[in-house]
Amino acid sequence: MKRKVTKYIALMAVGMLSFHACQTDFEKINRDFRHPTEDDLKKDGLDVGGFFTSFQTTIFPVGNSGTDYVNDYQIPYTLAGACWIGYISPAQNKWIGRGFPSYSLKGWSDYTFSVMYKKTFASWLNLKEQTIGDDAVNALLDIIKVTSLHKATDTFGPIPYLKISKGNMLQATYDSQKDVYSEMLKELDNAVQVLDQVRHNVLPKYDLMYGGDYVKWGKLANSMMLRLAMRVVYADEALAKEYAEKAISNPFGVMVEANDMAQLSQGAGLFLNNPLVIINGSSYNDARMGAEIYSYMVGYEDPRTDVYFTKAKQSSVEGFYPVFKSLEKVSEYLDRTKYSLLNVQNATPIYIMKASEVAFLRAEGALRNWNMGGATAEELYNKAIALSFKENGIDDSKAKSYVANSSNKPVKFVDNTNPANNLAPVSTITVKWEGKEFEKSLEQIITQKYIALYPDGQEAWSEYRRTGYPHIFPAKFVRTDSDVDGTVGPTRIVYSNKEYTDNLENINKAVQMLGGPDKGNTRVWWDKKSNK
C-alpha cells in the first residue's frame, strides 16, 4: 500500500502541492481510499517526499503517460534552443511565422515562461512552506530551484526572483538578471554549507536523481555554481572567478566521474520516459539530425555520432543525413528512411548536468588562469572529451585517437532534396589541442563542449550566446516577429503578451532593466562578449 501511495503522490500535478485534506468522522467513513489523506501523506515523509519527487521533474519535463510532458519539453527546448543551435531540426517546419523554428517568438512565449518558470516557482514556494525548519531538505530545494530557474533567466533576462511570494505571483516584481545571478550563486553556496553541516542523506526514498546522497548533491551544487559563474564571465569577471574557484575548492568538490552526473530517468520507484521518444517517433515525427551537429561530428569522424543518431539511406548510400533548422515546409523530409532520426529510447536519461561539462568548464577556467585544481587547460580539455566518450559507452582508446587528430575538420552541409540549401562549413577548428592563442583554444573547448552537451540545446544555446561558439549556419528562411537576425539567431525570447495584460507596470520595469527593447535580438545581461 505504501508503495502505491508513494507512486501516486510522485506523479501528482505540481498544481496540487497546496492540497490539504479535511478530517471529519463523516469524511473518514465516506472518503475514497484510492486517494491519500493528510495523515497518509505524513507517514514516512510522504507529505513532503512525493511532492519533492514531482518537484525534480520541473528541471526538465519527463513522464510516463500522456503527452503533456512531451509538449512541455518540445516547445521550450527542442523547437527553441536545440533547433537554433543545430542539434535537432523539425522534420517539417509546420510553424512558419508562428513558432520558434522560423524565429517567431511571441506565440509560444507564455507557454515557455510557464514551463521554465511558473511551474518551478509555484512548486518551490509550496514545498518551502511545508519544510520550514528542515535545513537539509531546504538545501536540496534551493539547488533544484536554481538548476531549473537559471534556464528561465537565461532565456528571458530579468525575471521575478528575490521578492516573489504565493500572494503576488500574478503581479510579481521583476529583478535584474545581475541580481538574480548574484542571488542564485549565494543560494548554491549556502546549500553546500548546509549539506556540509548536516552530513546525512536526504529523502532517499523520494530522490529521483541521487537517492538522497548528500555528497552527490553537494557536487551538483558546486558544479552548477561553476556553470553559473562561467556564464557571467564577460559581464562580471571578478564575480565569475570568485565563485568558480569557490566551487572547485569546496570539500565536496565538483563532478569528476561519469557516475556523478545528474539525470532524470528512474528512481524513487518510478520509471520515467524520455519525451524525445514521442517527438522523434512516428506519431509526432518532428525530429531529425541537425545540420550543425552533423557538420562537426561527421567532419571529426566522431564515434559518438552513432550513439546520438541513426543512419538513413539515400540513393542506396547509407550514412547520416541531416535536415536544416530553418527551411520552408517540404514533405520530403518526413521520410523516416531518408533522414537521420534521434537514437533515443524511453530509458535514455534526460541529462541535467554531466561530468564532461564540468571538465570543459574547468578547462576554460584554467585557460583564464584561474585555480581549477592544479590541472592545465589542455589536461582538462582532454579529460572532458574522455569523460564524454565514457558517458556514451565508448572505449577510452577511441577517445585517445580522437583527441590526437589534428587534420579532421567540419564538413559542408549537403541537402540532396534541394541542393540550393547546401552550405560550406563555418569553422576550420580541429580537435587536437593547440593552445597557441586564447580565442582558438576557447573555440576548441566550446565546440567540443557543444558535442558533449547534446541533446541539451538550452545550455548549448546559452554557451553560444556567451562565447560565439560553435559557429553556426545562417538561417535560410526567417519569418520573425521579434527582429531576430537570421545570421545570429535569437539572443532571447520576448516576454508574452499575457504579462503585458496582467502585469503591465512590472513588465515595463523589466524591459527597462533589460537595457534594450523587448525583442529577440536584445542581449541579456551576461551576453557581453564584444568580438563574437
**pLDDT surpassing 60 at residue 463:** yes
Cβ distance 470 to 464 under 8 Å?
yes
pLDDT bucket at 30, cuts 50 / 70 / 90: very low
Burial of 153 (0-12, 13-18, 19+ CB in 10 A): buried
At residue 220, the 3 state secondary structure works out as helix
Contact residues for 21 (Cβ-Cβ < 8 A; gap 6+): 27, 36, 37, 38, 41
Compute the chain's Rg from CA coordinates: 23
At residue 182, the 3 state secondary structure works out as helix
| pLDDT digit string, tens, across residues 107-153 | 999 999 999 999 999 999 999 999 999 999 999 999 999 999 999 99
Instruction: For domain 69-277+345-498+509-514, give its CATH number from 1.10.1740.10, 1.20.120.10, 3.30.70.1070, 1.25.40.390.
Output: 1.25.40.390
Cell numbers 573547448 correspond to 445
**pLDDT surpassing 60 at residue 16:** no
**pLDDT surpassing 70 at residue 46:** no
In single-letter form, the type of residue at position 234 comes to: Y
In single-letter form, the type of residue at position 515 comes to: G
Contact residues for 424 (Cβ-Cβ < 8 A; gap 6+): 412
Cβ distance 219 to 226 under 8 Å?
no
Q: Give dist(CA 139, CA 141) in Å, integer.
A: 5
DSSP 152-172: HHHHHSSBS-SS--GGGSTTP
Q: Give dist(CA 255, CA 253) in Å, integer.
A: 7
Of residues 35 and 178, more confidence is placed in 178
3-state SS track over 270-327 = EECECCHHHHHCCCCCCCEEEHHHHHHHHHCCCCCHHHHECCEEECCEEECCCECCCC
- Averaged pLDDT for residues 345-370: 98
- Residues 458-472 as b or e (16 or more Cβ within 10 Å = b): bbbbbbbbbbbbbbb
3-state helix, strand, coil in the chain (%, to 5): 50, 5, 45
What is the predicted pLDDT for the residue at 10? 46
And the C-alpha cell for 456?
541539451
**pLDDT surpassing 70 at residue 39:** no
What is the predicted pLDDT for the residue at 85? 98
What is the predicted pLDDT for the residue at 95? 87
And the C-alpha cell for 272?
520515467
Global pTM reads: 0.92
pLDDT bucket at 65, cuts 50 / 70 / 90: very high
Distance between alpha carbon 72 and the CA centroid of its chain, in Å?
Answer: 13
| pLDDT digit string, tens, across residues 398-407 | 999 999 999 9
Share of the chain above pLDDT 90, in %: 84
Q: Give dist(CA 81, CA 277) in Å, integer.
A: 18
What are the domain boundaries of the chain? 2-51, 69-277+345-498+509-514
Q: Is 516 left (phi over 0), alpha (psi -120 to 50) or beta?
A: beta
**pLDDT surpassing 50 at residue 445:** yes
Rounded to a whole number, what is the distance in angstroms from the first to the last CA of the chain?
58
| Element at 253 (helix H, strand E) | none
Cβ distance 447 to 408 under 8 Å?
no
What is the predicted pLDDT for the residue at 455? 98
Of residues 19 and 211, more confidence is placed in 211
- Averaged pLDDT for residues 318-337: 91
What is the predicted pLDDT for the residue at 201? 96
| pLDDT digit string, tens, across residues 236-265 | 999 999 999 999 999 999 999 999 999 999
And the C-alpha cell for 333?
523530409
| pLDDT digit string, tens, across residues 467-521 | 999 999 999 889 999 999 999 999 999 999 999 999 999 999 999 999 999 999 9
Closest among 424, 333, 392 to 88, alpha carbons compared: 333
**pLDDT surpassing 50 at residue 27:** no
What is the predicted pLDDT for the residue at 477? 86
Q: What is the mean pLDDT of the chain?
A: 91
- Residue 263 is classified by DSSP as E
Burial of 476 (0-12, 13-18, 19+ CB in 10 A): middle
What is the predicted pLDDT for the residue at 45? 59
| pLDDT digit string, tens, across residues 260-313 | 999 999 888 899 999 999 999 999 999 999 999 999 999 999 999 999 999 999
Of residues 372 and 266, more confidence is placed in 372
With vertex at residue 154, the alpha carbon angle to CA 481 and CA 463, rounded to the nearest 5 degrees, is: 100
